[in-house]
Amino acid sequence: MLEKTTAFHRHGPSNPRSHLVLQVMAAMLQLRCFGPTLSPSLRFAGWTTDSVLAVLAAIPSFFFLSSRSIGRQPTTRHRSPLKPRSLAAHRDSSKVHLGVSQALGFYTWVESHCGFIHNESTCRAMSRVLARANSLQNLWRFLRSNETLVSTATVTSIIKVLGDEGLAREALAAFYRMKQLHCKPDVVAYNTVISALCRVGDFKNARSLLEQMELPGARCPPDTCTYTILIGYYCERSMETGCRKAIRRRIWEANHMFRRMLFRGFVPDVVTYNCLINGLCKTYRIERAHEVFEEMQQIGCVPNRITYNSFIRYYSVVNEVDKAVEMMRAMVARKHGVTTSSSYTPIIHALCEAGRVKEASDFVVEMVDHGSIPREYTYKLVCDALNSSGEEGFESDLRRRIEDGIDARFRLVSQKAKKAVGASASVVQVLLSRLRLFLSPGYPYEEILRTFHNQTGNFMCSYLPMFKSFNRTKGGLIQSNHGRPQPLQYVVNAAFLASVFSDYLDAADTTGWYCGPNFYSTDIDYILGNNPQKMSYLVGYGTRYPKRVHHRGASIPKNGVRYNCKGGWKWRDTKKPNQNTIVGAMVVGPDKHDGFHDVHTNYYNYTEPMLAGNAVLVAALVSLSGGKTGIDKNTIFSAVPPLFPTPPPPPAAWKP
């Protein structure tokens, strides 16, 4: 099983999706039993603390991820709920139970059969896995059995995980269990549980813990962070409490906590001041916000960009744009921060609403000159306002810089999302469907494999036009990447997966996704020339195809002259067709309006050939050309041992 584990130790544990982690996750998904029959390869260098931590850290993303968690921001950026919630209601309970059992089995296996000695770090990681699964009985049982490895930091990390999941009551119970585990709470543990309680609006218990810390002779007195947590959540919850009286009450409590902090001799830092100023600005108490701002500078606490942005947002909302601009200029003049898109965006929106379109466009130009890129909505808002007012639009160079920056930001966010959710999730689901259809593992694996199969069916159905999950161009091309550039590589991915899944169902005579070949054959026909441009996006196929592909070997003539990198720019910038033809290369394709420009200069959006897209295109064409009888039902999983016990022999014939 672990033949390729040496690659993990060569590259280090910094990559959680290493070969070792993927092999262990594959064994868990195949329901392999972690016991004597599962032994490492002879070439395996042995388990280390980093490798065990990497495996345990990957388990929640494979087994505990709920549909509501996909695409949400990290917990520090995501809007916290007011009421306690349980993500277990939105998870697949069978997958969660499987993940817990496999994690515990792996934890025991590496120690009993691989000679690894667990330490405090691995015990803490295993505890976090059980807390993420909301398997509290298993968690307390595990902590009692590993009591020598449990420390205050371990219980604090458990409290943080439970607080991030919205389980404030369970987090408080874990805090009070510290004494049973022979751990003494420190100020970090107090701050963590107070944050978990404030996050769900339980300020009563949070204040009770603070009063315990403030008692004379208390072992854990509060610090600046303790008061900052309460002040920040009072201000954050002020606008979510409903009536105006409740809002004033929350802001009063935040101010009272701030004065209480000063009375006890604590010096607020910039984070404390930012929390209070932001809450005051959001509740339109601008005079008090300026008083706090002046006090902040008098005690020598230097404000930063976040401080000024609170005032900028307030003045932009109340249509006092000139004061917002004045605050931004003051920030730069006093060298208290650098302007970014978060500083410019409120001002630009307020100027557009006030009809001062020319000034808004000037701020966009200034923003780009300072190295920031506006958000896509802001950019379109200003462009539409310029068109409506008859003003002159942005220059072509500036427009290209902004659009390239927006596209680069989208690619970066997409890469992070793929890394978090798993870029190959749909591929894995299709393979698990094949495992269920062709091997029929039976009980007890049928239930979880049927769940994966149903998820695969729902995912494939999203490709069909009737469900309208994806937009389509007027020419009929599915916009799998939601109208962004380079669409064809995503289209061939969808066509290949749909073709394979449909073939699986046909070969197994299984009811399910019967769309026939219409979906994927239509998109492949679009690529090969059945589109509004009447152009084949596969170079060399048909009579009309891209002649200015951005490819060095295709552009530079074979004349015996060696051209360096800059020397090739002559051929890159020319309007003439390529000197050579790279037959079979698929370009990135048209835009969301079926438009295509066969030019060298805008190669990223139209004429860039991509190896990744070509590889999947070949697979899709092979899948389309092959019949359903050509599927070998055992090729991929021929090495997988039987996943179910051999049935007993039939009973002997009955004799009267």
DSSP 210-271: HHHHHSTT-SS---HHHHHHHHHHHHHHHTTS-SHHHHHHHHHHHHHHHHHHHHTTPPP-HH
How far apart are alpha carbons 247 and 244 in whole angstroms? 5
Phi-psi region of 483 (alpha: psi -120 to 50; beta: other; left: phi over 0): left
Q: Which residues are paired to 609 by β-bridges?
A: 587
| Residue 69 CB-half CA count within 13 A | 22
**Catalytic annotation, pick one of 453, 550, 551, 600:** 550
Residues 195 and 229 sit within 8 Å (Cβ to Cβ): yes
Rg (CA), the chain: 30
**CA 122 vs CA 55, 127, 264, 313, 420: distances in Å:** 10, 9, 40, 45, 22
The CA dihedral of 503, 509, 515, 518, to the nearest 10 degrees, is: 50
Tell me how far the alpha carbon of residue 342 is from its chain's centroid. Answer: 21
- Please name the residues in contact with 44: beta carbons below 8 A apart, sequence gap of 6 or more: 2, 5, 6
Annotation says 550 is catalytic: yes
Letter string b/e over residues 446-474, b meaning 16 or more CB atoms within 10 A of that residue's CB: eebbebbbebbeebbeebbeeeeebeebe
The Cα-based distances of 609 to 245, 538, 553 in angstroms read: 62, 9, 12
Neighbours of 311 (CB within 10 A): 24
Structure-token pair, residue 420: 């978090």
Helix (H, G, I), strand (E, B) or coil at 81: coil
Cα atoms found within 13 Å of the Cα of residue 242, Cβ hemisphere only = 3
Q: Which residues pair with 587 in a beta bridge?
A: 609
> Is residue 444 reached through a cis peptide bond, with omega within 30 degrees of 0 on the bond before it?
yes
Half-sphere exposure of 253 (CA within 13 A, CB side): 19
C-alpha to C-alpha distance for 284 and 619, rounded to whole angstroms: 60
Close Cβ partners of 28 (under 8 Å, ≥ 6 residues apart): 59, 62, 63, 98, 99, 102, 106
Distances (CA, A) of 41 to 16, 32, 100, 518: 21, 16, 25, 46
Query: What single DSSP character describes residue 642?
Result: P
Find, among 589, 555, 563, the residue nearest to 484 by Cα. Answer: 589
Q: Which residues are catalytic?
A: 550
